[in-house]
């Protein structure tokens, strides 16, 4: 089942379901090495989303800005390796959406609990927007909103469920997007959390 959300954006409903056990056990191993933390924005606000990373590069934010770093600033060590199950899922999804040779070098892991939100933003910290982004939703459902190339463009809302995968390429790669405050709930595998994995080519 394949649904076009916008020009270049493909929703693959339930695409990650067959890998959920592998994904969740790998996730625990990663966050033991690189625990979830709340990063601070350049403006001095603490993000409500808790984050970790795996792969050669990880997205980090602090008072000096947003960037990709090979080192976890909290441990001084490299980010954990990207598990084979993560890489294979991301590549399989990208291929299905028409990107045959996606080679992500960064996986940002976002953790939401009830009330956590992610304000409307663009993803512009990667070297080139020509590579797609693959996102995997796990746990509690979320309302995802996306607009256009301008912050003031009208937004559409979509419910993203456990197991949904979205591939963002083409012009949609630079669209403004965000997550509305998470509603409370109890997911059979993840309890009161939503986890989102985003795979990117950063460098």
Place of tokens 């809302």: 157
Question: Taking the complex as a whole, how short is the minimal distance between the CB of residue 112 and Fe ion, in angstroms?
Answer: 13
196 contacts ligand MD3 (rule: CB under 6 A)? yes
110 contacts ligand MD3 (rule: CB under 6 A)? yes
- Pick from 16, 107, 133, 202 the residue near ligand MD3 by CB under 6 A: 133
Measured CA to CA, the distance from residue 151 to residue 15 in angstroms comes to 30
Per partner kind, with CB cut-offs from 5 to 8 A, the member of ligand MD3, Fe ion, none near residue 110 is ligand MD3
123 contacts ligand MD3 (rule: CB under 6 A)? yes
Judge whether 181 and 141 are in contact, CB under 8 Å.
no
Judge whether 118 and 110 are in contact, CB under 8 Å.
yes
Q: Closer to ligand MD3 by CB, 76 or 176: give it.
A: 176
Q: Which residue is nearest to ligand MD3 (CB)?
A: 196
Strand 156-160 to 194-200 pairing: unpaired
Cα–Cα separations (whole angstroms), residue 65 to 41, 43, 182: 7, 9, 26
123 contacts Fe ion (rule: CB under 5 A)? yes
Binding positions for Fe ion, rule: CB under 5 A: 123
């Amino acid at each position: 089942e394949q649904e076009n959300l916008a020009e270049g954006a493909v929703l693959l409903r339930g695409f990650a379901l067959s890998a959920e056990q592998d994904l969740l056990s790998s996730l625990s191993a990663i966050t033991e090495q690189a625990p979830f933390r709340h990063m601070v924005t350049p403006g001095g606000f603490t993000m409500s989303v808790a984050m970790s990373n795996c792969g050669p590069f990880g997205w980090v934010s602090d008072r000096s800005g947003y960037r990709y770093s090979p080192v976890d600033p909290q441990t001084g060590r490299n980010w954990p390796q990207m598990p084979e199950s993560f890489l294979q899922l991301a590549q399989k999804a990208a291929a299905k959406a028409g990107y045959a040779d996606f080679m992500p070098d960064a996986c940002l892991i976002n953790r939401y609990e009830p009330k956590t939100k992610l304000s409307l933003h663009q993803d512009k910290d990667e070297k080139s927007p020509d590579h797609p982004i693959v996102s995997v939703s796990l746990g509690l459902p979320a309302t995802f909103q996306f607009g256009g190339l301008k912050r003031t463009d009208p937004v559409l809302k979509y419910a993203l469920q456990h197991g949904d995968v979205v591939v963002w390429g083409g012009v949609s790669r630079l669209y403004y997007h965000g997550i509305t405050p998470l509603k409370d709930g109890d997911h059979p595998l993840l309890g009161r959390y939503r986890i989102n994995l985003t795979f990117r080519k950063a460098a």
